[in-house]
Structure 1
Amino acid sequence: MSGSYIYHRVGEEDEEKLATNKPRVSRWKALRDTLIVLLAIWGFISLVRSLHIPLPNLHPRLEGCQCGNSIAEAMEMGCKYDSLAAAWLPEHCRDDELTAEFERSGDGPNGSWLYYKDTHHTEPMTVEEVAALGDQPEARFHMTGQWHKVHCLFYWRKEHRFRFNGKTVEPRSDTEAHIHHCGQIFMGETYGTVSGVVFNTNEE
């Protein structure tokens, strides 16, 4: 009949079946769907790791690893002094976890690194004093030859880790020339090394 509805009365037995079967089906479907999603995620992560696919740059708007021209400007840009790089670096170019490990791997007391004002290593400097040299482009600080070797080892690790942590290795260090330079450091024995502090690591 037009405009009328037919109602079917569900018996008590039917109601009990609906009450018990429906939730079981829903729970099983939810569990199955969750399992499929987890397996898909696990498969994707395994694929990325096996192929060494680099993660996308987490800071695509930032070009390279430049921190202005002064400490004040660098700090305003959110840059910090990185003792592994001997440079002021923006967050996307720093591997702070790796640098912290480097700072505990030195040949000084408690694994610290010793820095000096002079070639003969008689006038010690703190890391804060070294960082402040950024405002003196011609200034230099001195370290042991061991510092240079460990620096190279940690940079090779940094170049590997950036594929998975979304960081950017500074262009001046992400070169075959830098690897060749580190090879020479390992082949020879040196008393010490010398460096300046820079803000722009886009260039050698």
Structure 2
Amino acid sequence: MAPKRGSIRKPSFDDSDDGSGMTLLHEHVQDSLTTRRRGLRASSLPLKFFLGVVALICSVSVVYTAAGVRRLSSVATADYGDCGPNETVEEAREKGCLFDPMSWIWVRPECYDAELVAEFMNRTDFSWHTEPKLKPETKLGIDVVLRGDHPVLFTQKDYHNVHCFVRLLPALHVLAT
């Protein structure tokens, strides 16, 4: 029986064509897949390009940052040196370092702020002791403190607040200029 005009013929098992190239809506599978693939390829090209550029930028950023960090660490060591790997009093003095009672560390002369240390020491009434109880018999003179002979000394709790404030002063000075 011949199909009526305008009607869709249903595939049957008797046909020579097995219908594997047709969808349920009787579209040719190969044609629609080819069209979709072309559309996907065309639309993914800008995305692939964008992702490639982002990957390149990230790679360059990582390499640039790593090189910068390495350069900074080598410059800091070369320009300022150190005060000894163990930072003992003897090593520090041999290398020309000065004791900074504000940071409680040995620093290179170019890093030592004598005016700031003098202002701090003249404006405070802190006493320095060899024992945490702060007894009068354990008190040391300011000259002994400034020599840096003692790796650990004890003082009033308020020292911490003043110490933090005075350590911020150089940063504030840099920001103000």
Q: TM-score range by the shorter chain?
A: 0.3 to 0.5
TM superposition score normalised by structure 2: 0.46
The higher-RCO structure (CA 8 Å, 6+ apart) is 1
Higher-helix-fraction structure = 2
TM superposition score normalised by structure 1: 0.41
